[in-house]
Amino acid sequence: MDPMLILTQGLNGLQLGVMLFLMAAGLTLVFGVMNLINLAHGSLYMIGAYIAATLQQKTGSFLLAVLMAVPVTMLVGMAVEMLALRKLYERDHLDQVLATYGLILFFNELVRMAWGPQAYFMALPQALAHNVRLLSGLSYPAYRLAIIGAGLGVGGFLYVLIHHTRLGMLIRAGAGNRDMVNALGVNIRFLYTAVFGLGAALAGLAGMMAGPILSVEVGMGEPVLILAFVVIVIGGIGSIQGAFFAAVLVGIADTFGRVLLPPGLASMGIYVLMAVVLWRRPQGLFPAPHGAG
Amino acid sequence: MKKVVKGFWLLMASLALIAPAVCHAEEAIKIGYIATMSGPGASLGTDILDGFKLGIRHCGDKLGGMPVDLVVGDDQLKPDVGVQVATRLLEKDKVDIVTGIVFSNVMMAVAKPITDQGLFLISANAGPSPLAGEQCNPNFFAVSWQNDQTHEAMGKYLQDKGVKRLYLMAPDYQAGKDALVGFKRAFKGEIVAEVFTKVGQPDYAAELAQLRAAKPDAVFVFYPGGMGVNFIKQYAQAGLKEEIPLYTTAFMLDQSSLAAMGDACLGIMNASFWSPDLDTPANREFVADFKAAYNRLPSLFAAQGYDAALLMDSAIRAVGGNLKDQEKFRAALRKADFQSVRGKFKFNNNHFPIQDFYIRQVVKNEEGVLTNKIVATAFTDHADAYHEQCPMKW
């Protein structure tokens, strides 16, 4: 492989990685803080994409789609938490898996009823529809560069939020010792809804950013969800930092695996990586020391 | 009071006696439609059903002069669910004939249980090679095509065009492998690489970077459904469309996918047995009425559903609605005495069509809607590659 091709594939891996990070961050927070396995996280990704695609088609403005899709998805997520998931925190993981799997089916059929069975179109924003020349012999789509930028930005924002704000402190405390936080008089119900809303907003952002490069269709969240679970297991459950590094690792490993290995082995690659991590470090690569970190 | 109650019961009893006689006079033909109607593969199933219903309407809301009772079953793209649905339609609903079936893996699971019961199965889409060859079945008919044929047509076109170095890509499953086998049956040039990707893979950035580095003369791919939308969008976004011409088959660029791709699909060539602009009287009527009924242009899948209804209509009419006489009904189906949207239509010895294949190009019509237009003919009267292995002769 010539060096420019290796660089291009490295960027592809990084871009896949930051997309996975946006999904995994919400998943790992919800798991870490509420001890809830949420399979319906992929549905929020799908809803973000559909809302953004619809807004873009109706208004013609990508920016407006971005500004609206994320808060709307967040509200959908918070409603789901308050109506359905709140009842599941005390139940065991199998009940949660069953209930949230049911939610996947519910959202898939809901979207089919509202938007129809055909895939939906979302265009690239005009300003980002070209290729950027990074080095001589290396040009890369501007939109994918923007995804990398947005992903890194969100990573930085989450780092500040978790480590330097009161909400972040509560999230860390909630992950470490939920009962104590409750006993100290913190409104844990509100905290849970807020954390779930944050996770939903990140999933919606990921779906919205995926809209222009992927087909916006029913069930689009499921393949991403599986990879996101691999990421949080490798990174250490409850750890945002872990989710970030694991997402980039999985993104790059998956990209180079697909290119260098035969197809059967390539699709196994990241699962082998996960198995090795579980064997050597069952707590993940960057476990949250005392709560989310 | 007692008398009134007694009279009431008598009345009910006599009504119950009359009821079957009334039903008998209005006897309907019961059609089982099995297809993938939910999940990501659902748009094909709904398209075929829309075409099928339009076909019934064009036959006067009847098939073969008989009222139609349509029972729809969802196989969820799972062969085992398909078998369950088929069993339910056969035993509980007691259907007279079965049609639909989008995916070949489902077809391979349901074909035997249905035909073993002495029922006829008319495939409106899936045409797997075993059913065209050694396992061909006297009660199975495909009104669509054999899976390999459309890919062979594109192979033939690129061979005739004199393309030298070709790059092939498909998802890593049976239909993907069959597509490339069919393509290579007709294309004899150099294959630079044959890349198989995971089924359902959403992003192709890594594979497209490799493709660009290999610098082939052209690319042939088979990515149906959502995979195809992703692939075409990303191929155009990477700037490859202007660099390396992309060829495919109609399964990737059918009418229901084009809108989701936007201008990314404009100008791409694809092979098909049918096109909305195909100039036959039956097709002009079908396209206009489909547009009026559903407010969109039909896809090739809808055309197949429409032809399935017309084929059934012709055969049911020929036997006067008596589907129990299998010999007669089979003979009537074999005649294919109906106005197909493709113009001429006839069955081969294996009950698969012998038909023409065209090369289409994605264009914008007068209303600015993306659609396909025929630019060349790849094959005339093309028979599939498996019919000689089928022991059936007639």
Q: What is the pLDDT of residues B131-150, one digit of tens each?
A: 999 999 999 999 999 999 99
Same domain for B308 and B284? yes
Does the pLDDT of residue A293 top 60, yes or no?
no
CATH number for the domain including B324? Answer: 3.40.50.2300
Look up the pTM and report it.
Answer: 0.85
List the single range of A11-15, A146-150, B277-281, B320-324 with lowest mean pLDDT.
Answer: B320-324
- From the list A268, A226, A274, A279, the residue with the least C-alpha distance to A249 is A274
The count of other CB atoms within 10 Å of the CB of residue B5 is 9
Give the tokens for residue B177. Answer: 């492998």
CATH of domain A12-117+141-280: 1.10.3470
Confidence band for B256, pLDDT divided at 50, 70 and 90? confident
Per-residue pLDDT, averaged over B237-266, amounts to 93
Nearest to A123 among B226, B238, B262 (CB): B262
pLDDT for residue B22: 42
Per-residue pLDDT, averaged over A45-65, amounts to 93
pLDDT for residue B19: 46
Q: Which residue has the higher pLDDT, B316 or A239?
A: B316
Same domain for B36 and B125? yes
> In Å, what is the CA distance from B213 to each residue of A6, B11, B217, B222, B236?
11, 84, 12, 20, 16
Confidence band for A121, pLDDT divided at 50, 70 and 90? confident
d(CA B10, CA A88): 56
Interface residue A120 vs chain B (CB under 8 A): yes
Does the pLDDT of residue B62 top 90, yes or no?
yes
| Phi-psi region at A252: left, alpha or beta (left = phi > 0; alpha = psi -120 to 50) | alpha
Per-residue pLDDT, averaged over A67-84, amounts to 94
Confidence band for B23, pLDDT divided at 50, 70 and 90? very low
Per-residue pLDDT, averaged over B318-323, amounts to 92
d(CA A63, CA A71): 13
d(CA B224, CA B42): 12
Burial of B69 (0-12, 13-18, 19+ CB in 10 A): middle
Q: Is residue B202 part of a domain?
A: yes
Confidence band for B178, pLDDT divided at 50, 70 and 90? confident
Q: Is residue B11 part of a domain?
A: no
Does the pLDDT of residue A229 top 60, yes or no?
yes
Same domain for B222 and B291? no
pLDDT for residue B12: 55
- Do B328 and B319 meet the contact criterion of CB atoms below 8 Å apart? yes
Q: What total number of domains does chain B contain?
A: 2
pLDDT for residue B2: 56
> Mean pLDDT of all residues in chain B?
91
Amino acid at B167: Y
Same domain for B125 and B37? yes
Is B226–A220 a contact, with Cβ atoms under 8 angstroms apart?
Answer: yes
Q: What is the pLDDT of residues B331-343, one digit of tens each?
A: 999 999 999 999 9
pLDDT for residue B173: 85
Is B202–A5 a contact, with Cβ atoms under 8 angstroms apart?
Answer: no
Same domain for B72 and B99? yes
d(CA B112, CA B341): 29
Give the tokens for residue A247. Answer: 């997402």
Q: What is the pLDDT of residues A276-291, one digit of tens each?
A: 999 999 888 888 765 4
Residue ranges covered by each domain of chain A: 12-117+141-280
Does the pLDDT of residue B40 top 80, yes or no?
no
What is the residue range of B68's domain?
29-145+278-347
List the single range of A24-28, A116-120, B221-225, B301-305 with lowest mean pLDDT.
Answer: A116-120
Does the pLDDT of residue B273 top 90, yes or no?
yes
Buried b (16+ CB within 10 A) or exposed e, A67-90: ebbbebbbebbbebbeeebbebee
pLDDT for residue A238: 83
Q: What is the pLDDT of residues B79-136, one digit of tens each?
A: 999 999 999 999 999 999 999 999 998 999 999 999 999 999 999 999 999 999 999 9
Same domain for B129 and B243? no
Give the tokens for residue A287. Answer: 């476990």
Q: Is residue B353 part of a domain?
A: no
> In Å, what is the CA distance from B228 to each residue of A94, B171, B219, B223, B345?
35, 10, 14, 4, 29
Q: What is the pLDDT of residues B349-366, one digit of tens each?
A: 999 999 999 999 999 999
Sequence-separated (6 or more) residues with CB below 8 Å from residue B15? none
Nearest to A112 among B42, B196, B198 (CB): B42
d(CA A6, CA B12): 82
Q: Is residue B13 part of a domain?
A: no
Per-residue pLDDT, averaged over A129-139, amounts to 86
Q: Is residue B7 part of a domain?
A: no
Name the residue of chain B whose CA is nearest to A129's CA.
B237
Same domain for B366 and B342? no
The count of other CB atoms within 10 Å of the CB of residue B236 is 22
State whether residue A284 is helix, strand or coil.
Answer: coil
- Residues of A in Cβ contact (< 8 Å) with B209: 5, 8-9, 12, 259
Confidence band for A225, pLDDT divided at 50, 70 and 90? very high
pLDDT for residue A119: 81
> In Å, what is the CA distance from B313 to each residue of B236, B309, B347?
44, 6, 16
Confidence band for A275, pLDDT divided at 50, 70 and 90? very high
Does the pLDDT of residue B8 top 70, yes or no?
no
Does the pLDDT of residue B3 top 70, yes or no?
no
Same domain for B294 and B257? no
Give the tokens for residue B112. Answer: 């035997």
d(CA B306, CA B181): 29
Nearest to B206 among A218, A220, A255 (CB): A255
Beta bridge partners of B329: none
Confidence band for A223, pLDDT divided at 50, 70 and 90? confident
Best of B180, B237, B253, B294 to substitute, by most chain A Cβ atoms within 10 angstroms, is B237
Same domain for B366 and B335? no
Give the tokens for residue A44. Answer: 């929020």
Give the tokens for residue A112. Answer: 């089919």
Q: Is residue B112 part of a domain?
A: yes
* ipTM of this complex prediction, to 2 decimal places: 0.84
Best of B169, B233, B252 to substitute, by most chain A Cβ atoms within 10 angstroms, is B233
Interface residue A108 vs chain B (CB under 8 A): yes
d(CA B248, CA A53): 27
- Residues of B in Cβ contact (< 8 Å) with A120: 260
pLDDT for residue B25: 41
Same domain for B199 and B235? yes
Q: What is the pLDDT of residues A81-108, one digit of tens each?
A: 999 998 898 889 999 999 999 999 999 9
CA distance B254 to chain A (A): 11
Does the pLDDT of residue B24 top 50, yes or no?
no
Same domain for B288 and B186? no
Per-residue pLDDT, averaged over A155-170, amounts to 91
Q: Is residue B245 part of a domain?
A: yes
Question: Strands B29-35 and B190-197: what pairing?
Answer: unpaired
pLDDT for residue B166: 97
- From the list A61, A124, A51, A209, the residue with the least C-alpha distance to B264 is A124
d(CA A172, CA A153): 21
Interface residue A253 vs chain B (CB under 8 A): no
Confidence band for B198, pLDDT divided at 50, 70 and 90? confident
Same domain for B101 and B198? no
Question: Strands B29-35 and A138-141: what pairing?
Answer: unpaired
Does the pLDDT of residue B251 top 50, yes or no?
yes
The CA angle B308-B312-B314, to the nearest 5 degrees, is 120
List the single range of A109-123, A217-231, B24-38 with lowest mean pLDDT.
Answer: B24-38
Q: What secondary structure does DSSP assign to B123-188, as a single string? A: ESS---HHHHTTT--TTEEESS--TTHHHHHHHHHHHHHT--EEEEEEESSHHHHHHHHHHHHH--
Confidence band for B224, pLDDT divided at 50, 70 and 90? confident
Q: Is residue B390 part of a domain?
A: no
d(CA B2, CA B189): 91
- From the list A258, A227, A131, A20, the residue with the least C-alpha distance to B211 is A258
d(CA A77, CA A196): 7
pLDDT for residue B26: 54
> In Å, what is the CA distance from A93 to each residue of A31, A38, A89, A243, A271?
11, 10, 9, 21, 22
Q: What is the pLDDT of residues B157-169, one digit of tens each?
A: 999 999 999 999 9
